[in-house]
Amino acid sequence: MTILDVVMENDDSGLKLIRSIRDKLALLDMRIILRTGQPGFAPEEQVISDYEINDYIMKTETTRSKLFTSLCSAIRSYQQLCIISEARDFLQRLTIMNSELISQTTFTSFVQCLVHNSLELFSASGSGLLLIDQGKKKGEPTRFEIEYSSESTHQFVGQNFEDALSDDIVVKIKQTILSQTSYTHGSDLILFIPSKSCSVILILFDVYPNIIRPELIQSFVSNIASDVDNSLLLKQISNIAYLDSLTKLPNRTKFIEDLDSLHKSNKQIKSVTLIDIEHFSDINDGLGQDYGNLLLVAVAERLSSEFSESVMIYRVAADVFGVISTKASLEESEILSVFDLP
C-alpha cells in the first residue's frame, strides 16, 4: 500500500507515479491512496475516473480517524485480493496438472505424475508417498499399501504401510483413515482422496510454511478423485485388451504389438520362442478343465520366475506360450530345463 501526494517535484508527479506503478511495474493489486492539498491540480472525479487509485483524501479533511479508516480498508481489500490471486493461481496450476494426469497411458505413470506434480503444486520441499486401499479394490477389508514413493521408501512399494513406515507417520495415517479427511500434521500434508473405485492417501512432506486454504485442498481432492477413477478404468480396459485373465500374462494381442514395437524402434530381438504344451487336450479331457487351468497357471508362474526382466512371457493361445528375449538368445535346452523339476 502507498500514500501519494499529487504535487511533489512537479504539479503532476504523483499522477505520473501512479501510471508507472500500474503500467510499467504492473503492480495491479497495490492499494494507492491519493492525498492532496491542492484539488485544483487533480479534481477528485477526474482523478478517480482516469487513474487506478483506491481512495482520494483531501489534506484539509485528513484526521486521525479518517486516515485510520482508509488504511484499514486498503489493507483488508489487499488481503482479499491476495486470497483471490492465490486461488486463481492454484486452480490454474491444478488444471494444467489434470491435463498431464489425463494424458498418462498407464496407471504406473499416472501415480508417478500425481506424486511429483502434487509436490510442485503445494511447493513441498520433501518427498511424496501414495497409498492405495487394495482391500476396497478387491472388495476386502481396508488394507492400504504403498503404491509409489518419490524417495527413500521406494523399496517398500507393494507393502502394507504399517510394516514399512516409521511409527509417527503410521499414527498420522491411521488418524486420516479413521476420520477420512485431509490433515496438516506439523509440516506434513496428508490428503485423503475417496474415489469411487478405491481410497487413496497422498502424503506430502515439508509443505510448511506454504499454507493452502481448506477450500483449495478440497478442490484438489475432488479433482484427483475423478482422475484416479479414470486412470483405474483405463487400466481395467487395458487389462481386458492385453492381459490373459487366467495366467495374468500379456496375451496374443500384446505379443504381436510388442514385436511390432520392438521392430519399429530398431531394438534388437535376440530370440522369439513358442512353447506348446503337448497332450494338453488329454489332460483337459481326462482330469477336467479345472486341472488344465491349474497346469497353465503353474507353467506361467514357472516361466515368469525363472527368466530375467529382459525376457517377456506371453500366453498366445490356449496351450501355447510366447517368449521374447532382447538381451540374450534362449536355446531350446535352456527353456526345457525350466521344467526339469516337477
Q: What is the pLDDT of residue 297?
A: 93
pLDDT 10s digits, 252-272: 998 998 898 888 887 788 889
Give me the pLDDT at residue 208, please.
65
Listed residue (57, 182, 209) closest to 125, CA to CA: 209
Q: Which of 62-66, 126-130, 288-292 has the weakest average pLDDT? A: 62-66
List all residues 6 or more positions away from 231 whose beta carbon is below 8 Å from its beta carbon.
101, 104, 107, 110
CB 124 within 8 A of CB 204: yes
| Interatomic CA distance for residues 165 and 167, integer angstroms | 7
Mean pLDDT (the chain) is 85
Answer for the pair 81, 29: CB distance below 8 angstroms, yes or no: yes
The Cα-based distances of 135 to 106, 140, 141, 188, 231 in angstroms read: 21, 4, 5, 25, 18
**Interatomic CA distance for residues 304 and 311, integer angstroms:** 9
pLDDT band with cut points at 50, 70 and 90 for residue 198: confident
pLDDT band at 140 (very low <50, low <70, confident <90, very high): low
Which class for 177: exposed (0-12), middle (13-18), buried (19 or more C-beta within 10 A)?
middle
Query: Does the structure show a pLDDT above 70 at 211?
Result: no
Using CA atoms in the order 163, 168, 170, 171, what is the torsion angle rounded to 10 degrees?
140
Average pLDDT over residues 87-93: 90
* Res 328 pLDDT > 60: yes
Band the pLDDT of 231: cuts 50, 70, 90. Answer: confident
Q: Which of 316, 310, 253 is nearest to 299 (CA)?
A: 316
